[in-house]
Chain A
Amino acid sequence: MTPVQYRQDAGLKSSDTRASSLADDYRRFVWRRVLCLGGLTLAAMTALLVDIASGPSMLGLLDVFRGLLNPEGIDAGTRVIIEDIRLPYALMAVVVGACLGLAGAEMQTVLNNPLASPFTLGVGAAATLGASLVIAFNISVLGVAAHVLLPLSAFVFAAAASLLILVLSRTLGASVHAVVLFGIALLFGINAVVGLIQFMADAESVQQIVFWTMGSLARASLDKVAIVALVLALCLPFSLRNAWAMTLLRSGEEQARSLGIRVERMRLVVLMRVSLLTAAAMCFVGEIGFIGLVAPHIARLMLGEDHRFLLPGSALAGAVLLSLSSIASKLLVPGVVLPVGIVTALVGIPLFITLIIGRSRRAAL
């Protein structure tokens, strides 16, 4: 007896009219989510334009439009500001925010832990360690310049930290909680080593390391943006391919297993992807810790737990958050561009609280 035959034998009594009603209600519900996702996309694009317009010399949004669509139509000074300075800076905020938002959402799902983020497992701290070693000891490998070696080292250390966690969790058969605990232990361990490096390093190196840990978009260039964007573009389709499986995993691990989902394998693959996204995002801008934790929660509040919407939503929320932080970093202290890493929480927390209050009010109605 084939499965379909079996279903027909089951004697479904529902008429087509009845069948359409719940499905139609759900389609309307999904349509609202699509609109919500569209709203987030619009917010990300608006934030990007405002980010380009804002800075020590403020530009009009119309100038920004003209500068992007028809560079020949604006004066040379404005063109240089837009193309060489503001555009890479603003685009880097979008792609890094999106990478961290996506990485955070995936990590929270596979570890079933709302406090998980790329920094929970020490992946971010490992990138800092990689960067600190290059800065403090002026390490040079095979004649590679320090400015190339620094992001490379950050990337390698972040990936190594992920691998270490994965290998240990696989060989020891550790539970999700053990993986999180091990990650936190690793985070403290690495922070201790970074502290030791700072203690041993000269004053100039310490300053550079501290600046790196604050996270800054100032080192952005279009080449670097392209690298991070490429990593995001490579990872996102694989993330979305897993959307149904991740949704099921969130509703219950045993049920997901019984539905044929190979949970351990998925966890392994997702953690690898998270480490790639985090390392790519961090290697050019330094530590930006808040986005990966909060962007998934913002997306969850707006879009729910269906990962078809949650994953792109979290990436967009991350992009919006970091773009808004970038704008704030240029406007908070007139004439000074603050490191964006120290502004993200200041911008993100009010937004997050507003969303929570909004949802509570709607639930109370």
Chain B
Amino acid sequence: MSTRAASRWLVFAVSLSITACSPSGGGAGPTPPSGGTNPSKPTTPTLSDQPPSLVFRDVSDSSGIRFVHASGLDGGRYYPASLGCGLALFDYDGDGKLDIYFCSNRKLPLSAENKAMGNRLYRNLGGMKFEDVTDKAKVGFRGFCHGAAVADVNGDGKPDLYLTTYGSNVLYLNNGDGTFRDASAGSGIDVKPWSSGAAFLDYDGDGKLDLYVTRYARWTEAGPHKYCGDAKRGIRVFCSPYDFTPERHLLFRGNGDGTFVDTTEKAGVVRRDGRGLGVVAADINHDGKTDLYVANDGCPNFLFINNGDGTFTDATESSGAATNGAGAVQGSMGVDIQDVDGDGQPELFVTNFRGEYNTLYQNLGGGNFQDVSAQAGIVKDSLAFVGWGCGLADFDNDGRPDMLVANGEIDDNLRQFGQEVDFDQPTVVWRNMGRSKFVRVMNPGPFFAKDHNARGAAFGDLDDDGDLDVVLILTDGKPAVLSNESVNQGNWIRFALEGSRGNRDAIGATVEVYAGGQVFQRLVRGGDSYLSVNDRRALIGIGTLDRVDRVEILWPGGRKTTLNEPALKKTHRVLEPSGGDAR
């Protein structure tokens, strides 16, 4: 056997291994042209033969929002720029209307000239109109921001704002007068150098909010930075996540005054094998304690079950929700949790990279989850896309959470390698048809007829008309503000919960509406979607039913509240009972 032959074999092997490590899920490298049908076109089944019931109208242009996102995407391909950022929907000024806080990235390295407008806060004026109050509120962070988390961390009744960044994380405490103060220094949660997502929760039940921060990898702008792509032709792409060492995530116990202490090890949630992005804190097993589920990129998704004694059990490997049903880890980004099949047990959902479908895990009880993505009918319409922000949101108030995923590639130059993959991708909506079946909705509005490059997505009732609207971060562009104008919407009821012992946002609570012999469950969560914050009020649709028999609220910590026959189409403010159960 000739050495020449062997050396040529080696070259081929290396070139194929580069191909195998393409950005599509295994690595980076050029590939020659390939053909394929347009994955934006629907695969069966769809609801295209009927007038769409889920309809959204893009009101961005008339909203007054002038925010423009800056990704930092350039020829240097600094990895954080691929991840984009999220946004937060919260009522910062207590006027009852949801305001919007947009995060933004910027050019790297941080020493480079920064032309990005930075993060912006928009106050909701009603009627889908907003005004920029960033400077007045003093929350105009202009660094490299990934995500936002919101909660009242110092128990003064006002929501505070936490930012995850490349750099140092930021804590803005709400002064209550329309302004915030930077309380990062000394908070203990000004984490460096690179964080991605965050979720507030009260994990130890002491009434003081705690914080879980996800981190992606050990990467700094100083480098060295591997060149991924075709150096000969000068075409660079983002490297594979497998090129980066995961960085461990952090759990902080809150002192109730805006300061925190690292309790990661003590709580039993140390893992060094997760490139963390989205995280959700919620009562996953309905025991009154708030658990954690973390979406990791190219690593198992973590599931930590709260033991109630200040520690968690790592149920990752036993859960069935760490990988897909074939046992393969996926490039997971966004995350949500909600009961989609009406059995009272919330399902987990993650968005994943191209070539990997978005995964819906059915909650079978006992800490067991099963990948039911195929049964749900969501595989085909997610395989070709890179999924980020997501929501299991009941858009038509029929009682069944629907699904929306914001998609977008990380590289804008893959066609130069002959791959038929575009930077912009469709935002996909599926309607929950019941029995855990979803059907893609074609044409839910003109916005969806075009492809976009999206990252964060947040869901909330911006105009207080009783349905969930959607706001999307669009890469290097203005956001999409999608007003929900779905037809034939069902009846609804809403609950704004207020914890009485510090966790004022009632993160970890479960609301169950009993009506017509059915149970409609919604969770109050810390952490949502992709690096974003949703409307924390629990809006529950009940379809054609016209009466609620009772509502049961399981508060974090185990207290219960029962409401009998609350009125429909109304927001009920419910205060956690201070002692014993309330009726």
> Real complex partners, A and B?
no
Please give the residue numbers on chain A whose beta carbons come within 8 Å of chain B beta carbons, in ascending order.
none
Please give the residue numbers on chain B whose beta carbons come within 8 Å of chain A beta carbons, in ascending order.
none
